[in-house]
Amino acid sequence: MILAESPRRQRVTKLVNWGHWFALANIIIAIVIASIFVFSSPMPGTGVGTVYLLANWFGHIGFMTFFGFVIFILPLCYLVNNQRVIKLSASIIAAVGLALLAFDALLFNRTGFHISFHAADLLRSEAQSTMAIESWQQWSFLLLLFVVWLGFQLVLANAIWKRVERFTRYKIGIPVTTFFVSCFVTSHAIHVWADAKLYQPIIKQDNMFPLSYPATAKTTMSRYGLLDLAAYEERKQLQFNPDIHNITYPAEPVYCSVETNKNLTVVVQTDNEQILHLGEMDQTSLNRVANYYSTASSIEGLMISTLFGVPEIYQDALSQKRPVLLALPLGLGMPVSIHSDEALPLPQLSGYQQPITNNHQGLHIAFMHSADIGSYVKSTLERKHDIIVATGFGSEDGKGSLYSTLELNATLASTEDLAPTILGALGCNAPTTYYSTGQNLLSPNRAWLVSTSGERIVVFHDNKRTDVLSNGSYEISDMATGKRSKDPLNVDLLSQAIKHLSRFSTQN
């Protein structure tokens, strides 16, 4: 007896076949969208790192997309009889999923972090800054893009449905499945090895894709005696490489005008002694930012951070560069000079050096010991100059204060903020991201800051200080008390901060 399939079984079989082809088409689209993550990140630079990148790219994105099909679409093929409802539902699900992936990719390209609950505050601040002007037009445009994208998914779903019998003749299910499963397994296997060896070209890719949790070595291997955790932790301490040799500074040409008739003096303290008489002047004429941090580990690093507006990690790479802070005003006709009680760190700065007795108009930047600052500030104020005084270098945690006659609208600041604040006070409106990792304290747009101190990355946010080594070990402390905090690491903020910190680096 020959038993024919029932009409319902035939319909379910066709729907399942259609679903697999629809999922494959969207896997390919998702892989293309995910290329934004790949090209927004530094290339691995090694053969093994590149193999892992490709395997992780295809394996993780393929798995994530197919998992969405199994969870949301495949059950509909068995539970819903109307094929139009299934195609519409699948198109909406695919459109929403891929739109979220595209949005996450663009967010990662801009900020270095993915959509998550931890990133909600950061995402809100980004949205406010990017969509503050004509926001309803921009939201309408995004809605229109989504409608077009949904229409494309509907066309794709119908096109596959009409040709599903023809597609089923192509026996590609096993090869395609084998390829993606092999990529998925290979990427995790390589990551286990890289995690055990602390192989940075692979480890640094851990946060590249959303919802990525690659397998690690230390827990399983140590359980069976295959990995010495003490030696592993010791090797981790050797992974930090603070040298950055290839940079683009400034990142973009800086075009702006300055008010050459203005007079501004900047004083940066180079020791940690009490400044006489500055306190009483603070009571009368100087505004104060109490949470000011000078995290440089050397006087040379302090000078680099002040003049270039970038952390000391860039010190060696700036050996042939001229700071925008000095070159721009001087090129526009404003007198500029540096006074320093210590030797200047770069030879190209020597042309700006003048004695402290040179009281010309324009921009003065002085690196001074505490004993001389009080009287110098007093005489500067008597000459009707605006002034900025930065303290804190050499203190245990780098915390000092920032004093100024300017209206500083910030509660948190660092040395890298000085250069954009100075240029902003002189009337330059060029984007600060072109030449600095800091921000203009006259109109700040970030509630966090990032810097470096020796072999550490330091992030300040929400009254917490996070010190991180590049190998992943970290310590969180309370900014007010200095005591260690048990708060979890905000990985999204850290990722954004590191991306911001390395904006001038061209290293792969």
Whole-number average pLDDT of the chain: 83
pLDDT band at 363 (very low <50, low <70, confident <90, very high): very high
Tell whether 309 and 399 lie within a shared domain.
yes
Element at 159 (helix H, strand E): helix 135-167
Tell whether 213 and 270 lie within a shared domain.
no
pLDDT the model gives residue 472: 58
Q: Which residues contact 224 (CB under 8 A, 6 or more apart)?
A: none
pLDDT band at 227 (very low <50, low <70, confident <90, very high): low
Q: Which of 393-402, 427-436, 443-452, 496-505 has the lowest mean pLDDT?
A: 496-505
**Separation CA 372–CA 352 (nearest Å):** 21
pLDDT reading at 99 higher than 50: yes
pLDDT reading at 59 higher than 80: yes
pLDDT reading at 121 higher than 70: no
Tell whether 198 and 275 lie within a shared domain.
no
**Separation CA 54–CA 48 (nearest Å):** 10
Give 108 or 330, the one with higher predicted confidence: 330
Q: Which residues contact 396 (CB under 8 A, 6 or more apart)?
A: none
pLDDT the model gives residue 274: 80
pLDDT reading at 86 higher than 80: yes
- Quick check: helix, strand or coil at residue 414? strand
pLDDT band at 194 (very low <50, low <70, confident <90, very high): confident
Which structure tokens are listed for 427?
A: 């009337």
Q: Are 296 and 312 in contact (CB under 8 A)?
A: yes
- Among 19-23, 112-116, 205-209, 414-418, name the most confident range: 414-418
Alpha helices in 1-130 (DSSP H): 7-39, 47-68, 74-79, 83-111, 120-130
- Domain assignment present for residue 242? The answer is no
- Quick check: helix, strand or coil at residue 412? strand
- Quick check: helix, strand or coil at residue 111? helix
pLDDT the model gives residue 234: 46
Q: Which of 87-101, 269-283, 418-432 has the lowest mean pLDDT?
A: 269-283
pLDDT reading at 81 higher than 70: yes
Residue 124: Cβ within 10 Å count? 10
Last residue of a domain, one of 217, 245, 275: 217
**Separation CA 209–CA 36 (nearest Å):** 10
**Separation CA 15–CA 27 (nearest Å):** 18
Q: Are 414 and 294 in contact (CB under 8 A)?
A: yes
Q: For 498-504, what is the mean pLDDT?
A: 80
Q: Which residues contact 485 (CB under 8 A, 6 or more apart)?
A: 464, 476, 477, 478
pLDDT band at 186 (very low <50, low <70, confident <90, very high): very high
Tens digit of pLDDT for each residue in 124-164? 655 555 544 445 666 677 788 889 999 999 999 999 999 98
pLDDT reading at 108 higher than 60: yes
Q: Which residues contact 326 (CB under 8 A, 6 or more apart)?
A: 307, 336, 338, 349, 352, 365
pLDDT reading at 189 higher than 70: yes
- Domain assignment present for residue 486? The answer is yes
**Separation CA 45–CA 251 (nearest Å):** 22
pLDDT the model gives residue 506: 64
Tens digit of pLDDT for each residue in 373-382? 988 998 898 8
Percent of the chain surpassing pLDDT 90: 42
Residue given tokens 């990529």 in the structure block: 183
Alpha helices in 168-263 (DSSP H): 173-197, 200-203, 218-223, 229-236
pLDDT band at 283 (very low <50, low <70, confident <90, very high): very low
- Domain assignment present for residue 60? The answer is yes
DSSP 351: G
**Separation CA 255–CA 443 (nearest Å):** 19
Q: Which of 77-81, 147-151, 449-453 has the lowest mean pLDDT?
A: 77-81
Hey, what amino acid is at 17?
N
Tell whether 191 and 270 lie within a shared domain.
no
**Separation CA 502–CA 310 (nearest Å):** 10
Domain that holds residue 442: 264-501
- The β-bridge partners of 388 are 266, 404
**Separation CA 459–CA 476 (nearest Å):** 9
pLDDT the model gives residue 328: 94
Hey, what amino acid is at 480?
A
Strand-pair category, 412-414 with 336-340: unpaired
**Separation CA 123–CA 141 (nearest Å):** 19
- Give the chain's domain count: 2
pLDDT the model gives residue 123: 59
Tell whether 303 and 210 lie within a shared domain.
no
pLDDT the model gives residue 231: 54
Last residue of a domain, one of 158, 185, 217: 217
Tens digit of pLDDT for each residue in 292-304? 999 998 999 999 9
- Domain assignment present for residue 254? The answer is no
- Domain assignment present for residue 249? The answer is no
- Quick check: helix, strand or coil at residue 312? helix
- Domain assignment present for residue 479? The answer is yes
- Quick check: helix, strand or coil at residue 347? helix
pLDDT reading at 237 higher than 50: no
Element at 253 (helix H, strand E): none
pLDDT the model gives residue 126: 54
pLDDT band at 92 (very low <50, low <70, confident <90, very high): very high
Query: What CATH number is given to the structural domain containing 323?
Result: 3.40.720.10
pLDDT the model gives residue 482: 83
Tens digit of pLDDT for each residue in 384-401? 899 999 998 988 888 999
- List the one residue out of 387, 396, 388 whose CA is nearest residue 467: 396
**Separation CA 35–CA 241 (nearest Å):** 27
pLDDT reading at 325 higher than 90: yes
**Separation CA 473–CA 445 (nearest Å):** 29
pLDDT reading at 464 higher than 70: yes
Tell whether 196 and 98 lie within a shared domain.
yes
β strands within 236-325, DSSP E:
264-269, 287-293
- Domain assignment present for residue 39? The answer is yes
Tell whether 193 and 270 lie within a shared domain.
no
Tell whether 275 and 211 lie within a shared domain.
no
Tell whether 213 and 269 lie within a shared domain.
no
Tell whether 206 and 271 lie within a shared domain.
no
pLDDT the model gives residue 402: 94
- Domain assignment present for residue 77? The answer is yes
pLDDT band at 119 (very low <50, low <70, confident <90, very high): low
Tell whether 338 and 467 lie within a shared domain.
yes
Hey, what amino acid is at 123?
L
Q: Which of 195-204, 236-245, 342-351 has the lowest mean pLDDT?
A: 236-245
Tell whether 352 and 490 lie within a shared domain.
yes
